[in-house]
Amino acid sequence: MKRIKTDVLIIGAGSGGLSVAAGAAQMGADVVLLEGHKMGGDCLNFGCVPSKALIASGKAAQSQRHASQYGVANGSGAADYAATKDHVHDVIAQIAPVDSQERFEGFGINVIREYGCFISPTEVQAGETVITARRIVIATGSSPLVPPIPGLSDVPFETNETIFDLRDKPEHLLIIGGGPIGMEMAQAHIRLGCSVTVIEGAQALGKDDPELAAVVLDSLRAEGVMIREQTKAAQIKGAAGAIEVISETGETIAGTHLLMAVGRKANIDNLGLEAGKIKAKGNGIEVDAGMRTSNRKVYAIGDVAGGLQFTHVAGYHAGVIIRSMLFGLPSKAKVSHIPWATYTEPELAQVGLTEAQARKEHGTALEVVRFDYAHNDRAIAERKTTGFIKLMVHKGRPVGASIVGYQADELINLWALALANRMKMSQIAAMVAPYPTIGEINKRAAGAYYSPRLFDNPKVKKIVGLVQRYIP
């Protein structure tokens, strides 16, 4: 058995782990990085990157079918399903060198391609190596949650870890789970020529503002996606090419393929948490505001910490703990400024409080401001007028922003900046946006906050009248 010592040991080479490793090594720490599966983790190999690549294929097909609105002849939009998967894997291959073992070894990091398991509060075993570290970071991410639905284990099914390797186009894809992953894959597949039925036990896109979610769901239904809400799967039957989902009410929903997209579970089962004196809690590891576990020498970041499960959150957590680990400075993670997006068309994005949350927290002191895409000249030129922005404002500061529409994932960045820095609406209103851009929507929304204060204010009108009368 080989034994080594290091300053920082990181378990998991996904987004969060790689960020910590690169930062710590480049600032002079001795770093060991463990990864028993694929470098880059879920985001690169099974999540963000392949899903957005497949969504791009679906958009390309859909744009051909609707080209006539731009004065161009409509095309068939026929998709070669296997070729779209070639595109997906080409995208992964282009990005993979950034997350590669070779690149991180170039930073001076000792990369060990083994899974890690605690054997004591300060020691982790990885294959034939035992590593003793001053600080340890658990960044093992999460995996698809596969619920114990009767019959599921007897039929073939896909998850986000297998769907991107499927090369034969599903004739009728059944998706259990109406969250962001389920809805993104539903739209991508119907645009690639599949029939699609989404089966959701509660409300589809239930974590988002229901008014905005409805815009997305209406658009998907208009494209032909069958969305069955309040429909819980009680049993699954069949075989490859002929799968049946039986609901709690006894209804049978038939399809050829099944995708499970009901959520994710933290990867903690084989970490030896008990030996490491580390407590688990709910869907993940228990951490404090500084991302420290019950073992003060150990941090947990990203999905495994049991909070918001987004790649950018893992990267944010990495910055928080680097400040603490390397410089001994107090550092706490927040969630109030964390944005997220669902990459359907139209897109759906959120940062801060939704309207319901903001009304509960701020009551009658809350102001809600809206601006429609239909009033944006660039959106009109692009034929992308479906959607709107909704701002939640308290005492002149935005406390939340909800956007549904074209490039909502890009527009939300400004409001994430505003919330992170406690900016005022006046600072957003003072911004000058180039014309014509979709980004003007943010500017105009901020202007809509001030419009009644200027145009419907008798005092303002009186002052203007006096100036016009008495000042030459």
Question: Can you say which residues are annotated as belonging to the binding site for NAD(+)?
Answer: 177-184, 200, 263
State how beta strands 252-255 and 123-126 pair. unpaired
C-beta separation of 119 from 275 below 8 A: yes
Residue 89, judged by CB atoms within 10 A of its CB (0-12, 13-18, 19+), counts as: middle
Element (H, E) at 294: none
- Binding-site residues for FAD, in ranges, read 52, 116, 140-142, 303
Peptide bond into 50 cis (omega under 30): no
State how beta strands 172-176 and 195-199 pair. parallel
C-beta separation of 125 from 117 below 8 A: yes
Rounded to whole angstroms, the Cα distance separating 31 from 9 reads 6
Rounded to whole angstroms, the Cα distance separating 420 from 242 reads 50
Residue indicated by tokens 């009767």:
150
Rounded to whole angstroms, the Cα distance separating 263 from 261 reads 6
Q: What is the dihedral of CA 137, 93, 345, 390, to 10 degrees?
A: 30
Element (H, E) at 34: strand 31-34
- Binding-site residues, in ranges, read 52, 116, 140-142, 177-184, 200, 263, 303
Q: Which residues fall within 8 angstroms of residue 370, CB to CB, at 6 or more apart?
A: 388, 389, 390, 391, 445, 448
Q: What is the DSSP letter of 378?
A: H
Element (H, E) at 444: helix 440-455
Helix-helix angle 48-65:81-95, to 10 degrees: 140
